[in-house]
Structure 1
Amino acid sequence: MPATADRVEITELFARLGHLLDDRRWDDAGEVFAEDIVGRSPRGEINGLTDMRAFLHRTEPNGELSQHIATDIVVDFTGDDAATGTANSTVHYFREGEAPHRTAGLRMTCEVARTGSGWRFREYGITLLWLQGE
């Protein structure tokens, strides 16, 4: 059975993803995603880290900032080097100095794998649960 440290690292992976997205550090996507990442969202499917970086650059909202908050994270180990995870996420979209004009409720599901660089998302899915605002 993986150590408690593994559970903490996987849980932190959700937070690190939120910070990466909020800070718009698209080129650092390899810090949270595996090379062979498969991503699914309402916007389509992404295959591979290169495509993930290109997708993040392409879909960057102009003049809009975000704050991702992941909660209710559950991690289930499927092996010593593999796990699944789910989390709820609230994402606030705003313009600098203004209150949010749009908020989304998401459900995130993932498969994670231990890599030479630590735990990384190998499959990552987002389901939009609700949307409030413009």
Structure 2
Amino acid sequence: MDTLIADRIEIADLFSRFALLLDEKRWDDAGTVFTDDVVGRSPRSGDIRGLDTLVAFMRQAEVEGEHTQHLTTDLLVDVRGDQAAASANSLVYFYRDGQAPYLTSGLRLACTAVRTPAGWRLRETSTSVVWMQGAATFTTRSS
């Protein structure tokens, strides 16, 4: 298989793993998606630097009983050697067990992926909220 095609497939899988990591709250697997020196930007987190800080934020941001389903689409990947610029749209449903979603949001993701010895990982992520429908409940669980 052509190396460029293989890289694009692996980066597409990286976005899917990112979505599943969030949906399944598998914070201990964050190193399979992000580099140790990751920089993340979002309206909820501001700028976060480093894998441990990112994982701590994701754990702290959990809302008791809340689940998500991330659908990622329109992925664009520009591979240049061992680095790639990648962007996608993400539709996120927030729901509770057995109930319809109470919040839906449309996001735009812009990322830099890098080739590591373990495969492609996200080094930078930027999430922008394009729209939101429903009632946001951004309180966090108590520690």
Q: Which bracket does the TM-score occupy, shorter chain normalised?
A: over 0.9
Alignment of 1:20-35 (within 5 A): 20-35=21-36
Match of 1:114 in 2: 115
Q: Secondary structure at the match of 2:79?
A: strand
4+ runs of 1 displaced by more than 4 Å?
none
Q: Provide TM-score, normalisation by structure 1.
A: 0.96
| CA displacement at 1:3 relative to structure 2 | 2.5
Asked if structure 2 preserves the Cα contact closer than 8 Å seen for 1:88 and 1:108, the reply is yes
Where does structure 1 lack aligned partners over 5 or more consecutive residues? none
CA RMSD of aligned residues (A): 1.1
On the 8 A contact 1:71/1:89 being kept in 2, the answer is yes
- Whichever residue aligns with residue 70 of structure 1, its letter is T
Percent identity over the alignment is 50
SS at match of 2:30: helix
List aligned pairs for 1:35-114, cutoff 5 A: 35-43=36-44, 44-78=46-80, 80-114=81-115
Is the partner of 2:71 in helix, strand or coil?
A: strand
Task: Judge conservation of contact 1:108–1:125 (CA < 8 Å) in 2.
Answer: yes
Distance 1:132 1:8 in 2: 32
1:98 is paired with a residue of what secondary structure? coil
Higher fraction of strand: 1
1-structure distance, mates of 2:70, 2:55: 18
Q: Following TM superposition, by how much is the alpha carbon of 1:70 offset from its aligned partner in structure 2, in angstroms?
A: 0.3
1:13 maps to a residue whose letter is: L
